[in-house]
Amino acid sequence: IMIDHFHREVKGLINGEAKTMIVTKSILDAIKYKQAFDLYLKEIKSPYKAIIAFSGKKEYQGIECDETSMNSFKDDKNDIPKNFKKSEYRFLIVANKYQTGFDQPLLHTMYVDKKLRDVQAVQTLSRLNRAFKPHKKDTFVLDFYNDTKDIKAAFDNYYTSTSLGEETSPNKLNDLVDALEEFEIYNEETVEDFFAKYSNNADRSILDPIVDSCAEIFKNDLELDKQIDFKQKVKSFLRTYSYLSKLLDFNNLYWEQLWWFLKYLVAKLPIDSNDDLAVGIIEAIDMDSYRPEKQNVEPEQIVLSADEGLVAPIPVSVGGGKAENEFDSLENILNVFNQRFGDIDWTDKDKVNEILVNQIPADIKADAQTMDTINTSPDKQNAKISSDKKVDKLMQQYMRTQTEIFKKYSTDKDFKRRYQEFVFETLWQTQQDSIV
């Protein structure tokens, strides 16, 4: 299952360099996996190889096994991290090793055949959370052992808002397709027409009217509760199909066509106050390019920065002179920050600086839930994810009142990334200073 899944769904990802980790229960299991992998990879004439990682030695079938003898690297040195970087090695089979601290950005998929608990679950699964821009757009875990509720419970100790779906059945897709069609926003002909034009690289001027006409029906013909229901079902279909298509071969052309059509339609639908604002803004940003997979769009949900922070320490005190110094320091940082994008010419620079330099960081500091995550997270990168999500949500509030800021943040990916870094480094430094 693992090897077939890799060759079918994983090997072409991350610019054709995606790698996997197999997490096993014991050294004995790891040895059995390594032998089975070697045999099957040779049988199917795969160009890829597996590496095993465990400590010490273990006797199996009368033979003393260790890493060096089982890996047999050409250089005779058992340097696993170095050799795993080579393109031929795509499978890393581990037994209580490399589940913490291992940093390999090309690691995309994890196959889990071991009970994971508490911090071990978080640390193990977080091996996938290493950015490789712009090619690494997502990650994937195929878990043969753990229940979703156990993994959720493990992450709940470190993340205040963990969203983990339960087991998903392909039958749910059938139900969602039927339910969506009952709204009469579109029909099969609409979907097929859009996809045919999209597949033939039609210009946006041709694609937009198809999606816009459906958005008009949504706005004019549906009551508010129906609008919310429709959007929730659309997002559910997009998530479910994206997930299951990595596991199953549907051979259902219409579902694939519908996925692309709804991916573009959902960004055209009005956002209501009852909607999921964080998801809404991310989808809207993703839709600025009609072909995100061809435009090297960065991952939507997990955005990890490999750069070191460029922001100088920010004073914590809010008293007299220090308050002035803090504002001056932050304003200087923002000025330098803006210069990197060609000296952004804001209509009302003072107002924009007040919002970007003071108001948004202050709003996040006042949010106990977000700050608790930042303060207690064992991983700086994971803390940044929480900060970035809060910035996304706050920016959504300026969609109508500060359209200039919202548009810049929504359409300029470089500006968005740098501003997220600016805010997080401000919050992180404040947190570090408070510890000292």
Q: pLDDT tens digits for the chain (436 residues)?
A: 899 999 988 888 998 899 999 999 889 999 999 999 999 999 999 999 999 998 888 889 999 999 888 987 876 677 888 889 999 999 999 988 887 767 888 999 999 999 887 777 888 888 888 888 788 888 898 888 888 878 887 777 665 544 555 555 666 777 788 889 888 999 988 999 999 998 888 888 899 899 999 999 999 888 888 898 899 889 888 888 877 776 666 667 888 899 999 998 998 887 554 444 334 333 333 333 333 333 343 433 333 334 433 333 323 223 333 333 333 344 555 554 555 444 567 777 778 878 888 888 888 888 877 887 777 665 677 778 888 888 988 888 777 678 888 888 888 887 888 888 888 887 776 555 444 4
- DSSP-assigned states of every residue in 87-112: TTEEEEEESSSSSSS---TTEEEEEE
CA dist 26 to 64, 84, 93, 142, Å?
16, 21, 11, 18
User: Per the domain annotation, does 350 fall within a domain?
Assistant: yes
Domain finish residue from 215, 247, 275: 275
CATH number of the domain at 64, please. Answer: 3.40.50.300
User: Per the domain annotation, does 164 fall within a domain?
Assistant: no
With tokens 């339960």, the residue in question is 166
* In a shared domain, residues 339 and 237: no
* In a shared domain, residues 327 and 399: yes
* In a shared domain, residues 136 and 218: no
pLDDT score for 29: 92
User: Per the domain annotation, does 297 fall within a domain?
Assistant: no
Report yes or no: 118 and 31 within 8 Å, Cβ to Cβ.
no
Interhelix angle 188-199/204-221, nearest 10 degrees = 160
C-alpha to C-alpha distance for 131 and 137, rounded to whole angstroms: 9
What DSSP state is assigned to residue 159? Answer: -
With tokens 């069609």, the residue in question is 181
* In a shared domain, residues 16 and 142: yes
Cis status of the peptide bond prior to 134, with omega within 30 of 0: yes
Helix (H, G, I), strand (E, B) or coil at 158: coil
**Strand order across the 140-143 sheet:** 49-53, 89-94, 19-24, 107-113, 140-143
How many domains are contained in the chain? 3
Strands (E), 126-237: 140-143
The residue range of the domain holding 92 is 2-156
- 22 phi/psi in degrees, rounded to 5: -110, 115
User: Per the domain annotation, does 165 fall within a domain?
Assistant: no
* In a shared domain, residues 151 and 22: yes
